[in-house]
């Protein structure tokens, strides 16, 4: 399906200086009008993803990091299940980040995610991420006190500093062949919010975060989530579109290597016959 990327282009955010969440409709479904249409497109997308992931693994030069950042009950687990259904489990790693442990609180806030960055040839999926540090920790400021940071470092500039650190970290990943642009997704539906009394605070935190961290190297995809069948399609399209941009290919086998493989094949056949 050559034009799968059209389903994600509308929701890609690179230059977000004037970004506003209210400009995005959580009930949007593009030009699709039925679950059946989306299911057919998703099936083709999953097939494409399976083929691209196979090449990614074989080439062993790039890694892909998908970050699913959303409120509770926004469908992150469902997206992982449906979009990644055709991917070889050996080439995919999924990490869910819950409330930090005592050990994690004794390290910097990027430490636990750094340890889970995918190795080359693999797709890594973060269910929540370091973005929690400029979202839930910002909305619930009491959580910052648990991070054992010196009070002298907790200034009015702390969120700006964290935005700078996150952007620098993502540039570092990109420069080392780890592409994290496909799936920094914000899936939004007012029905998904448990902490309704903090709604305005979360909206301000999300907008500020996206404005300060959306870059061409690591754009956001603001994915409508009222219709999960469309959410999954947009996510699949974003992943496929990014992998296609890497010019993936199976490694070429030179003449000497072919001779080695042929010798090994003959040896195996001979042993089997013997």
In this model, does residue 1 exceed pLDDT 50? no
Instruction: Give the alpha-carbon dihedral of 64, 67, 73, 75, to 10 degrees.
Output: -30
What are the tens digits of pLDDT across the range 134-165?
Answer: 999 999 989 998 999 999 999 999 999 999 99
Q: Is 1 a domain residue? A: no
pLDDT band for position 198 (cuts 50, 70, 90): confident
pTM, entire model: 0.83
Greater confidence (225 vs 168) lies with 168
pLDDT over 60 (residue 183):
no
pLDDT of residue 57: 94
Structure tokens at 91: 């080439």
Q: How far apart are CA 44 and CA 1, in angstroms?
A: 6
pLDDT tens digits for range 58-67: 999 999 999 9
Q: Residue 50 falls within a domain, yes or no?
A: yes
**Res. 106: pLDDT tops 70:** yes
Residue 135 within any structural domain of the chain: yes
Average pLDDT, the chain: 86
Q: Domain containing 124 — which CATH number?
A: 3.40.50.300
Average pLDDT over residues 219-229: 89
- pLDDT, tens only, 31-42: 888 899 999 999
Q: Into how many domains does the chain fold? A: 1
Phi-psi region of 120 (alpha: psi -120 to 50; beta: other; left: phi over 0): beta
Model pLDDT, residue 274:
54
Structure tokens, 74: 């926004």
Whether residue 19 is contained in a domain is answered as yes
Two structure tokens written together for 9: 């282009």
Do the strands 185-188 and 63-70 form a parallel or antiparallel pair, or are they unpaired?
parallel
Please check whether residue 27 lies inside any domain of the structure. Answer: yes
Q: Within a domain: residue 183?
A: yes
| DSSP 8-state secondary structure symbol assigned to residue 189 | -
- What number is the average pLDDT over the span 207-223? 90
Q: For residue 146, how many other CB atoms are within 10 A of its CB?
A: 12
pLDDT at residue 124 in the model: 93
Lowest average pLDDT, out of 125-129, 168-172, 224-228, 259-263, goes to: 259-263
Residue 182 has pLDDT above 60, yes or no: no
Cβ neighbors of 123 (< 8 A, separation 6 or more) are 53, 56, 63, 64, 65, 66, 84, 87, 91, 92, 93
Range of the domain at 187: 6-273
| Helices 76-83, 228-244: crossing angle, 10 deg rounding | 60
Helix (H, G, I), strand (E, B) or coil at 65: strand
**Residue 122 neighbours by CB under 8 Å, 6+ apart:** 56, 57, 63, 64, 91, 92, 93
């Amino acid at each position: 399906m050559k034009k799968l990327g059209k389903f994600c282009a509308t929701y890609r955010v690179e230059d977000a200086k004037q970004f506003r969440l209210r400009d995005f409709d959580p009930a949007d479904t593009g030009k699709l009008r039925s679950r059946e249409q989306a299911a057919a497109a998703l099936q083709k997308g999953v097939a494409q993803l399976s083929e691209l992931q196979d090449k990614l693994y074989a080439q062993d030069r790039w890694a892909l990091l998908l970050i699913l950042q959303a409120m509770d009950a926004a469908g992150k687990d469902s997206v992982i299940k449906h979009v990644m259904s055709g991917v070889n489990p050996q080439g995919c790693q999924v990490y869910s980040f819950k409330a930090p442990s005592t050990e994690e609180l004794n390290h910097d806030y990027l430490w636990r995610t750094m340890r889970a960055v995918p190795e080359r040839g693999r797709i890594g999926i973060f269910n929540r991420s370091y973005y929690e540090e400029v979202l839930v920790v910002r909305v619930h400021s009491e959580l910052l006190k648990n991070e054992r940071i010196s009070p002298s470092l907790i200034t009015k500039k702390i969120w700006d500093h964290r935005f700078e650190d996150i952007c620098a970290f993502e540039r570092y990943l990109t420069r080392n062949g780890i592409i994290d642009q496909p799936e920094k997704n914000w899936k939004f539906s007012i029905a998904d919010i448990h902490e309704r009394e903090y709604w305005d605070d979360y909206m301000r935190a999300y907008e500020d975060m996206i404005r300060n961290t959306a870059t061409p190297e690591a754009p956001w995809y603001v994915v409508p989530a009222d219709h999960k069948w469309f959410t999954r399609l947009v996510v699949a399209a974003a992943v496929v579109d990014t992998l296609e941009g890497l010019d993936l290919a199976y490694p070429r086998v030179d003449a000497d290597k072919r001779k080695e493989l042929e010798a090994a094949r003959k040896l195996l056949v001979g042993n089997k016959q013997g």
